[in-house]
């Protein structure tokens, strides 16, 4: 991934939080010589290995797990907040007009060697843990145990687990850090006025960090 110096995110904890807040990853893997991409919600286990381990489950009918080679290298891309930046939001544009549109975003790329876990106990633990994470924000959290045991048993037979111990985790926070502070603030306010709160707030947080430098 191309990461200019201003946009580098060296803090692994920040990247882990991005993944946990945006768990739907894009798994990219060659299957029979052809690159394939699969949207999969992942659970990040940060304490399992140097960079953490990704765990998930997929439908048994999904050809992914049968097409994998043992210990195959894969890439998983996670996207955070993103948004288009209009030059008109930069106060500096009114002075010199030397601005062009751009796109700001947050992303993390995780690499590792994938393993298939065709194991009902593993899958039950994984769906229970992922469900607890996602249901924690609900007023009445649903639990796996809410469903009849026979129904859950049948569902477990229809899915397969996958596990990716990570060998690297890199990320990019492109939030206008290469701009003057007033221009970064102006773009953030423009985004938020358009309802793009996630990326706007991320830019304001970045600006607050710059102010402390």
- pLDDT tens across 31-54, in order? 988 999 999 999 999 999 999 999
- pLDDT tens across 130-188, in order? 999 999 999 999 999 999 999 999 999 999 999 999 999 999 999 999 999 999 999 99
Write down how long the chain is.
213
Domain boundaries of the chain, sorted by first residue: 5-211
User: What CATH code is assigned to 5-211?
Assistant: 2.30.110.10
Bridge partners, residue 172, by sequence: 8, 107
**Contact by Cβ (8 Å): 191, 202:** no
Q: What is the pLDDT of residue 213?
A: 64
Average confidence (pLDDT) over 10-25? 95
Q: What is the pLDDT of residue 96?
A: 84
Tell me the average pLDDT of the chain. 94
Alpha-carbon distance 43 to 127, whole Å? 9
The pTM (predicted TM-score) of the whole model is: 0.92
Q: Strand, coil or helix: what is 182?
A: helix
DSSP code of residue 69? P
Alpha-carbon distance 83 to 191, whole Å? 7
Q: What is the pLDDT of residue 156?
A: 93
């Amino acid at each position: 991934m191309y990461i200019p110096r201003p946009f580098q995110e060296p803090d692994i904890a920040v990247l882990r939080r991005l993944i946990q807040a945006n768990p739907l990853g894009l798994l990219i893997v060659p299957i029979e010589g052809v690159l394939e991409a699969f949207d999969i919600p992942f659970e990040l286990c940060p304490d399992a290995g140097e960079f953490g381990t990704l765990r998930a489950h997929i439908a048994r009918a999904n050809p992914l797990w049968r097409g994998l080679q043992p210990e195959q290298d894969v890439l998983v891309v996670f996207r955070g907040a993103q948004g288009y930046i209009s030059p008109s939001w930069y106060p500096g544009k009114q002075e010199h007009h030397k601005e062009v549109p751009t796109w700001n975003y947050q992303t993390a790329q995780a690499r590792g060697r994938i393993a298939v876990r065709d194991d009902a106990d593993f899958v039950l633990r994984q769906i229970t843990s992922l469900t607890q994470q996602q249901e924690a924000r609900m007023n009445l959290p649903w639990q796996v145990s809410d469903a009849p045991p026979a129904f859950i048993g049948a569902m477990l037979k229809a899915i397969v687990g996958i596990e990716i111990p990570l060998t690297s985790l890199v990320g990019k926070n492109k939030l206008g850090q290469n701009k003057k502070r007033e221009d970064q603030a102006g773009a953030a306010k423009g985004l938020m006025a358009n309802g793009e709160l996630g990326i706007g707030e991320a830019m304001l947080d970045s600006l607050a960090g710059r102010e402390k430098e």
